[in-house]
Amino acid sequence: LSYKGFTTTFQFYEKAVKLATVKYDVAIIGGGSAGISAACWSAELGLNSVLVESNVELGGQLNYVFNPINNYLGVETANGREMRDIFVSQMQNWQFDILTNSAVAAVDFEAKTALLYDGKILHFKALVIAMGVRRRKLNIAGEAEFIGKGIIESGKRDAKTLIGKTVCVIGGGDAALENALILSGFAEKVFLIHRRETFRGRKEFLNQILLNTKINILRNTNLLEIIGEDKVHAVKLKNEAEFILPTDGVIFRLGVEPNTELFRDKIMLDEFGYIKIDSNCETNVSNIFAVGDVANRLSPTISSAVGMGTTAAKVIWQRLNL
């Protein structure tokens, strides 16, 4: 067995090899909407499958959706967690192995094995990559330190903590514009800070923002640092010169990036790092599939993720039953 790109000690590798006993028709990496769908459909079709999720709980991004979801046909929920609970409850209709709190560290396409950080090796006939996307970060001082101490997760959920206060929204897309509007209903002042001149978010959001006296737009402005002690007090910004802006809160909406580092140089990615697939959701490597946001830059939605999970499972079933 060779794990290109997997750096570990020889001892750890030995331990991993000893645990190499589990064999599956399908291994699915990622327990969000796409992975859950692929797992349910694989089981529905009689395939022996395993769903591997790095977090302690399933659901992926659904766990961070605080707005009502009314655009997924068949069910409307108050937030993503409620949708997740329905998915997880429906999973009880089928049997497949679930490994949570278990991240995949490396995949060997030739040997058809996936190595987990805890040392387990999963053998598969087909692999479904459903690893989704993560929020883009700036990696600046204070960004990690002040999470929950002034850096808020969601305008929708956390707006009430900023009543009468000042908040900075960082970003220029739909999510940044929407959060600026939501927060303006509660905060005294909202600064919308964008590193470019023009916004890529929806025109109707921008038009509302331009009429909103509580929202100040700072264009061509970069965030350099978040300043505080026990909580956020200010941000250091730079446009023509550096300056300090006092604030009580910060929310980042800088877009997302796909979780595809494991597969660089192994399968074809597009220029943005998303996995390239065909209409069967198959990558350029035979029997390696990719579903959901990780392979869908242009329409990252629950319905697309669920549909792609279904497609992969159906195609795999046909392949394995030829």
Ligand X SMILES: Cc1cc2nc3c(=O)[nH]c(=O)nc-3n(C[C@H](O)[C@H](O)[C@H](O)COP(=O)(O)OP(=O)(O)OC[C@H]3O[C@@H](n4cnc5c(N)ncnc54)[C@H](O)[C@@H]3O)c2cc1C
Nearer Cβ to ligand X (187/291): 291
Residues 116/12, Cβ–Cβ less than 8 Å: no
Q: How many CA atoms lie within 13 A of 16 on its CB side?
A: 24
The binding site for ligand X (CB under 6 A) comprises 29-35, 52-55, 60-62, 64-65, 67, 69, 71-72, 103-104, 130-133, 259, 292-293, 300-303, 305
Which among 123, 38, 56 has a CA at the least distance from the CA of 115?
Answer: 123
- The nearest distance, CB 63 to ligand X, in angstroms, is 8
CB of 218 to ligand X, least distance (A): 23
- Would you state the structure tokens that stand for residue 215, as one six-digit string? 């929202």
Distance CA 295, CA 283 (A): 9
CB of 193 to ligand X, least distance (A): 19
| C-alpha pair distances (Å), 282 with each of 46, 51, 106 | 20, 18, 19
Count the helix, strand and coil residues of the chain and give each as a percent rounded to the nearest 5.
Answer: 30, 25, 45
Nearer to ligand X among residue 50 and residue 104 (C-beta) = 104
CB of 74 to ligand X, least distance (A): 12
In the complex, minimum distance from the CB of residue 211 to ligand X, in angstroms, rounded to a whole number: 25
Contact (Cβ atoms closer than 8 angstroms) between residue 99 and residue 52:
yes
- Written as one string, the DSSP assignment of 145-163 is TTBTTTB-S-HHHHGGGGT
- Nearer Cβ to ligand X (104/183): 104
In the bound state with ligand X, the residue whose beta carbon lies nearer, of 78 and 268, is 78
How deeply is 95 buried, as exposed, middle or buried, from its count of CB atoms within 10 A (0-12, 13-18, 19+)? exposed
User: For residues 201 and 300, which CB has a smaller minimum distance to ligand X in the complex?
Assistant: 300
Least distance in angstroms from the C-beta of 284 to ligand X: 20
Decide whether 41 or 189 has the Cβ nearer to ligand X.
41
